[in-house]
Amino acid sequence: MSEESRDKAPSAEEIEGRFRSISVLAARPMIWAAIAGLKVSRRFSWRAEFDQDLTRLKGPLVLAANHRSHADTAAILGTMPQSICRRTVVAAALDVFGADSNGGLKRRVSKDCLQFLVAAGFHAFAFDRLGPPLRSVRTSVQLIRNGWSLLLYPEGTRSRTGEMARFKPGVGLLARFTERPVIPIHVDGGEDILPYGAFMPRAGFAAVRFGAPMWYDSADTPISFAARVEEQVRELGMRTAESKRAAVAMTSLNGHAPHSARAARKQPA
């Protein structure tokens, strides 16, 4: 991606303006209705477990997850409490979802359509993962201060091997500057539903686990805090794998799909 394209990374004001547009507001429920239809026709589902009731945490949250598939975002947003989901933005890679002045007309139109769909369906915005991160971090901080929770993938890219990469310090910068809790999240199975390079989802099951909130403290640096969050996501992954094996075994025994996302929204007392 060119420096000119990077300069087009949107500001918080531009992002919120897009989310408020009539076209985005009208398209969002239709996109989620389409996802619900695909879940039935393509036979995939997801379920979540929560270490803490997220609705009891006041103010916006920073949500940090591992990343294996584009299905991860839908699985996370589709299982979190709706009161939080409605005010959650997703940091999407600028070089993938941002403007592109290098391609031809067909490529630019495709990018514009993709930008619209992810903005409408997931409240996604372009985050520069390749260049200096300060502008994107400032934009993210402003969105959080404006009352938006933020979902990001600190690895910086999807894993093609299933192995989790080291977390980048951006999640630590966000926690430090916003003084908001970070919720570690592990998703297992998104890559079965939508493998790397696939366009249409396949039959599969994703398990999502939301961990307990983590706070940036005086002993932390952005790097050390990112390492702490990474460690928690890895620990959640081990527990998620156990839960997923149990759910799949129960599915085989009962002869029906795992609990729906609607059932998974229930929070612990």
What is the full per-residue pLDDT of the chain (269 aa) written as tens digits?
Answer: 445 444 556 889 999 999 999 999 999 999 999 999 999 999 999 999 999 999 999 889 999 999 999 999 999 999 999 999 999 999 987 555 555 545 565 656 666 787 788 889 999 998 876 555 677 889 999 999 999 999 999 998 899 888 999 999 999 999 999 999 999 999 999 999 999 889 899 999 999 999 999 999 999 999 999 999 999 999 999 987 777 677 667 767 776 555 444 444 444 43
Q: Using CB atoms within 10 A of its CB, is residue 78 exposed (0-12), middle (13-18) or buried (19+)?
A: buried
For residue 16, give every residue at least 6 positions away whose Cβ sits within 8 Å of its Cβ, in sequence order, or none. Answer: 143, 146
Tokens representing 154 are: 């600190």
Cα gap 125→115, rounded to integer Å: 8
* pLDDT at position 5: 47
Query: Could you tell me the residue ranges of all domains in the chain?
Result: 3-264
Query: Would you state the structure tokens that stand for residue 236, as one six-digit string?
Result: 């959640």
The pLDDT value recorded for residue 134 is 73
pLDDT at position 92, please?
87
Q: What is the pLDDT of residue 253?
A: 74
Q: Are 208 and 216 in contact (CB under 8 A)?
A: no
- pLDDT given at position 129: 62
